[in-house]
Amino acid sequence: MPGLNPAIRAVTIRALREGYRVIGIRRGWAGLVDIVPDPDADNRENAELLTEGVVNRAGRTGGTFLHTSRTRPSALPRSLVPPHLSDRYTDDINDVTSDVLKNLEFLGIDYLVPIGGDDTLSYAERLHREGVPVVAIPKTMDNDVPGTDYCIGFSTCVTRTIELTHRLRTTAGSHERFLVLEVFGRYAGFSALLPTMAGAADRCVIPEHPFEMEHLVELLTYDRNRHPSRYSVVLVSEGATTADDDGLTFRTDEVDQYGHRKLGGIGDKVSRGLKELAPRYNQGRGINVVNQRLGYLVRSGDPDAMDSIVPMAFGNLALDLIGQGTTGRLVSVHGGTYDSVPLELISTGAKTVAVERFYNSDRLRPRYTSFEQLPVFIMTSGQAAPR
């Protein structure tokens, strides 16, 4: 995830200069689960003492050098319970939070700074309720963490989506086809809406508004026939659904520890619909489709400028709050201004596109009205931050 390493760097350098010792937890919550609270135990796979040298090298790169996982300590399958805890947790699903708290104490953690999306931060909020001093940083490609206009990773996602879409235009235009690109967005359509606003696509379909397949075909055929190179482009959020569908499209039936099945396949469904229905709107002639799931391509590589700058600010803002003795907060952006909100906002549900304000459901495009006093990414109402 682009932006994670710069955030870790910012927290580490500021904390070290203020006299703190900084420990990086490896593999997210999995590291805290697997810690063996024994001074003689080898915990190098679970925690790492961070230095300026380590984070300066990593801070210029994408991803996270501490690695990550989908571990949820409050719902840990028995197969993932570490050996030293196996006699204590024997249920199919286990809440090992009591041992996570012991491990935090063993590591000497005074303040915890988790960086993640709503799943990761939902467990951070649990630890906050258990008395752990937490200051959280929002990170997700979908930009759907409630309480903030911006999440680390979103700008790089938008930038990569625009770049890749423009590259794939050459194939679509050469063959006079529809171009269907499936992008991230389980509950929120920001990562489809913003690139479309930037001119990367003619239409977009988002999770917040079920779409009529036939209507999409009609619009894309109209766009194609008006284009000098006779092609048109649609961005499809992975969580989008058709109006006559019974729900999301999944790749597998496997469910992760947060209760999510892996999304994927709505782009395939849209492509089939376009091929089947296009003759109705193209004088009986069929139109072929270029279909591509962008997936991890948009979260690979180095962070863009925004995701190098914002993580630095978020990391320092987290240390500002710690210096004030203020915890249980989520650092945030509101209307272009850095701020923080109560961490409890994480449990209020995903932030989604306000369809009536920002999405033209008739034209399947972003809604262009007045931009005055709106945030840079035009995603929220710009209202004052909740305190």
| Tens-digit pLDDT profile for residues 370-386 | 778 777 776 654 444 55
**What DSSP letter does each residue of 9-74 carry, written as one string?**
HHHHHHHHHTT---EEETTTHHHHHH----TTS--TTTEEE--HHHHHHHTTSSS-TT------GG
CA angle (309 as vertex; 303, 312 as ends), nearest 5: 105
Pairing verdict, β 261-263 and 250-255: antiparallel
For residue 244, the model assigns a pLDDT of 85
Domain extents in the chain? 4-152+303-348, 154-299
Q: Give the Å distances, CA to CA, from 165 to 109, 182, 237, 300.
A: 44, 11, 14, 15
For residue 251, the model assigns a pLDDT of 55
d(CA 8, CA 2): 12
> Whose structure tokens read 């409630």?
146
Pairing verdict, β 23-25 and 359-360: unpaired
Element (H, E) at 289: strand 289-293
d(CA 246, CA 283): 31
- Would you say 352 and 188 are in contact if contact means Cβ atoms under 8 Å apart? yes
- Would you say 82 and 43 are in contact if contact means Cβ atoms under 8 Å apart? no
For residue 45, the model assigns a pLDDT of 95
d(CA 247, CA 243): 9
Low-confidence stretches of the chain (pLDDT < 50) are 261, 381-384
For residue 375, the model assigns a pLDDT of 73
Instruction: Name the CATH topology of 4-152+303-348.
Output: Rossmann fold (3.40.50)
- Can you read off the two tokens belonging to residue 385? 């931050």
Taking the CA atoms of 161, 162, 165 and 166 in sequence, report the sign of the dihedral they define: negative
- Burial label for 20, CB within 10 Å (0-12, 13-18, 19+), is middle
142 among known catalytic residues: yes
| The CATH number fitting domain 154-299, selected from 3.40.50.460, 3.10.180.10, 3.40.50.150, 3.90.550.10 | 3.40.50.460
Q: Which residue is catalytic, options 99, 142, 223, 339? A: 142
- How far does CA 257 lie from the centroid of its chain? 17
End-to-end CA distance of the chain: 29
- Can you read off the two tokens belonging to residue 264? 């994927």
Q: Do domains 4-152+303-348 and 154-299 have the same CATH topology?
A: yes
The amino acid occupying position 331 is V
DSSP 193: H
| Overall pTM surpassing 0.85 (yes/no) | yes
